[in-house]
Amino acid sequence: MYKKRKYIPVFLSILILLATIIIAFIHFRDWHNQPYLLDNTLATNIENSQNQINLKNIIHESQKSVVQIETANETNSKTGSGFVINNNGDIITNAHVIEEADSIVVMLSNGRQYPAAIVGIGKEQDFAVIRVPELNHLDPITVDSEYQAEIGDEIIAIGSPVGIQNSVSLGLIVGTDRSFTINDFQYEEVFQISANITYGNSGGPLILRDSGKVIGINSAGITDTDIGFSIPVTQVKDQVAEWIDEANSEKLEYLPAAGQQIDQQQLEEDALYLVDYLIDNISLRDYVNAYSLFGSEYQSQTSYTEFRQTFQSLLGLNAKEKSIIEKKNDTVQIKIDMEVTARNESYQEVKENKQYTIVVGYENDQLKILQMSTSS
C-alpha cells in the first residue's frame, strides 16, 4: 500500500507535464496559423516607385506614336494631333483638323515631316483617318476598343497644344454621357475629362492610366478651364476599320505643303525641342530612338554600339542651361551645360559638369542632329 502511494506523485507529475506539452502545442499551432501583420514601408515605397516608373514608360512609349498635324488652305492653317494605329501608317485624328485642307503635313517628335492622304473623314462625327506610308516602321499605339468608362478613371491626354508637341496632361474621367453640337459635328455620349483640350490637342489620344491603351480621341474643350471632351474609340472603331479596308493606296492623294520657307524662329524652337527629346531618350535608356535623331554623317562616323557605350554608364542627365550660340543658314548651334551622374570604378555615384555642343539642321528636308561634341 505504501509503495502504491509512493508512485502517485510521480504519476501526477507525468500527467501534468503531458498536459502542459499538449496545451503548449495547441497554442503554438494557433499562433502559427495567425496572419503575420507588418507595416512594411519598404514594400510600399517599392510599389509606389514602380507606379511612377510605369507612368513614365506609358508616356514615353505613347509619345512615339503620337504625331503633330499641320494643315492649310488659301485662307487659314490649323494645328492638330493624331496617333498611329497600324503598320500601314494610318493615323486617327479629328475631322475638323483636316477638313477643307489643301495640304496635310505630319510631323514626328524628331522633327521629320511627311505629306498625308485622307483615308476617310466623318461628315457628322468628328473623326478621320489619314495615311503616311513612311510611318509603317513605327510601333502603333494599342487601342482598347472594348473599354467601358467609369467615373474617376485616371487618364492621360497627349497632343500638341499651340504647337508644343507631345505635351501631356493628367486627369480623370468626370462624365460619360455628354452630348452637344459644334460646327455641324454631333458629339453624343462623349467622355468629359478634367484635362484641358485646346488648339493643337484635337485628334490626340486619350489614354487609360491603368493600361496604357487608347480609349478616346481628344476633340474639344472649354477655353481656360480643365474641361475637355473626348470621343470614345468604341464609337468609331467599325467605321475606321471599314475606311482602312476599302482604301486603295494607288488612288490616295497626298497633300504636301508647297513652297514653304524656313521659319527661323520655328527652327530654333524645333531645334531646342529635338535636343530635349534626345536627352529624354538617353535618360530613359532608349538608345535606339536617340540614335535615330542623328544625321547620316554622324551615324557613318559613330556606330550605334559606340553611341550606346558612350551613355550606358550614365545614371542621370540634368540640363542646367541651354542656349543658342550660333544661327547659320538652316542650322542652329546649341550649347548645353549638363550635370552628369555616373558610377566610377569603385561603383560610387559621382557627379560632374560637362558642356555639350550640338548642331541641329535639315537633312533631306528633315530636322536632324548633325554634330555633337562634349567637353568637361
Q: Active-site residues: which are they?
A: 96, 126, 202
Q: Which three cell numbers stand for residue 91?
A: 493615323
Distance CA 318, CA 238 (A): 45
DSSP SS3 for 111: coil
DSSP SS3 for 207: strand
At a CB cut-off of 8 Å and minimum separation 6, what does 105 contact? 69, 70, 71, 113, 114, 115, 116, 256, 257
Q: Which residue has the cell 485628334?
A: 203
CB atoms within 10 A of CB 343: 12
Contact indicator for 140, 156 with CB cutoff of 8 Å: no
Residues comprising the chain, all counted: 376
Contact indicator for 197, 159 with CB cutoff of 8 Å: yes
At a CB cut-off of 8 Å and minimum separation 6, what does 156 contact? 58, 59, 62, 168, 169, 170, 206, 207, 208, 209
Contact indicator for 244, 88 with CB cutoff of 8 Å: yes
At a CB cut-off of 8 Å and minimum separation 6, what does 325 contact? 333, 334, 335, 357
Q: Which of 308, 86, 22, 45 is nearest to 214 (CA)?
A: 86
**What's the farthest any 2 CA atoms get from each other in the chain?**
127
